[in-house]
Structure 1
Amino acid sequence: MKLDNQTVARRYGKALFDVSLEKNTREQLSLELSELKKFLHNVPQFKDFISSNAIKPDAKTEMMKTLTKDTSDLLTNLLNMLYDYKRLTNLEDIINEFDRLNDEFEKTVRASVTTAIKLDEDQKKRLESSFANVVGANKVIFNQKIDESIIGGVILKSESYIYDGSIKSKIERIKRLLLK
């Protein structure tokens, strides 16, 4: 029975996270996976190259040697195993699952913050601190978006929380009340 991508990512990501905890390499592995994810984004042809039947196995083996040259034993083993089982196309999803489990372990929340203007560092830190208190996190990592159409205020979205304090939404609420 062939497993779907989500199941593969969950299983491998969980196994990778558990082993990194056992070997006390979680933080280092997280940094390596972050770099690997950047590589996957910067070289989108990698997936096509590694999964193509037109590319000779020797060329793929050389690519794998280059890719694993400076990686930890755990990451090297993962990459080689994924290559052997023809699951390297699932690598980004596996990294995402590892990151999700790592965030859960560290009580880190990733959220998007939308504002009409760019936040300075002080504003960003205060907002992160306030949001961390609201969601019960140790740390908040914001992905900031600028959207002038919200006029002012802030919109915060995480996996389990949405707060819309934008001027635009307040104006919309007032319009609805007036039209009743």
Structure 2
Amino acid sequence: MIAHRYGSALFELALEKSERQDLKKELVELKQVLVNEPNMMLLLTSKQITKADKQKFIKILGDSASETLKNLLDMLFDYDRIVDLDVIIDEYIRLNDEYEKTVKATVTTAIPLDSDQKSKLANSFARIVGANKVLLEEKVDSDIIGGVILRSNNYIYDGSLKLRFAQIKRMLLK
């Protein structure tokens, strides 16, 4: 709820100011810092650190950031919502992907795909789901024996041999 409200407001503001892509880049970089340095959120949320010291740290974070990102950090800090920063970033990215008609999907295969296979699969999946772009995350799982399993937010396609064998087994047992 909080993430959606703040993420939506941030996305609308970025659209109005024509800085949607630049802000996304900044937010992705900040998210990476949060992932690589988990102690940073501990510092910002710890009760042992004074509010003044936390504010100094927020200022350091915002020194090389855009005005919009600085304002977001200040606002989240002032309203004690800094702990929600990572989910707000995720929501902004989700809204941006929706705006750009970009779909993230996971493809599971028994063996690694080459770049041509990935490209063809992404293009086919984009046509099926009505996306402009599909970003594939590849997983290899020898248990599926062969074929492919595609998963995105609203879509699952299981074309694995493991599923086919299970279906044949059910039909034979009837």
Which amino acid is the alignment partner of residue 133 of structure 1?
R
In the superposition, the TM-score normalised over structure 2's length comes to 0.96
Show structure 1 runs of 5+ residues with no match: 1-6
The residue that corresponds to 1:69 in the other structure is 63
Q: CA deviation at 1:57?
A: 2.3
Q: CA deviation at 1:56?
A: 1.9
Q: CA deviation at 1:117?
A: 1.4
Tell whether 2:39 aligns with 1:45: yes
**SS across alignment from 2:49:** coil
Which amino acid is the alignment partner of residue 113 of structure 1?
V
**SS across alignment from 1:137:** coil
The residue that corresponds to 1:127 in the other structure is 121
The residue that corresponds to 2:83 in the other structure is 89
User: Which 4+ stretches in 1 moved above 4 angstroms?
Assistant: none
The residue that corresponds to 1:105 in the other structure is 99
The residue that corresponds to 1:20 in the other structure is 14
**SS across alignment from 2:80:** coil
Instruction: String of CA shifts for 1:21-74, please: whole Å, max 9, x gaps.
Output: 000000011111111111111111222211111112232122112211211110
Question: 1:41 & 1:143 partners in 2: Cα distance?
Answer: 19
Question: 1:77 & 1:91 partners in 2: Cα distance?
Answer: 13
The residue that corresponds to 1:4 in the other structure is none
**SS across alignment from 2:113:** coil
Q: CA deviation at 1:8?
A: 1.1
Match of 2:171 among 158, 162, 177: 177
**Percentage of pairs with the same residue:** 53
Show structure 2 runs of 5+ residues with no match: none
In the superposition, the TM-score normalised over structure 1's length comes to 0.93
The residue that corresponds to 1:144 in the other structure is 138
**SS across alignment from 1:119:** coil
Instruction: String of CA shifts for 1:61-91, please: whole Å, max 9, x gaps.
Output: 2211221121111011101110111111101
Measured on the aligned residues, the alpha-carbon RMSD in Å equals: 1.0
**SS across alignment from 1:31:** helix
Tell whether 2:80 aligns with 1:60: no
Deviates more, 1:129-138 or 1:44-53: 44-53
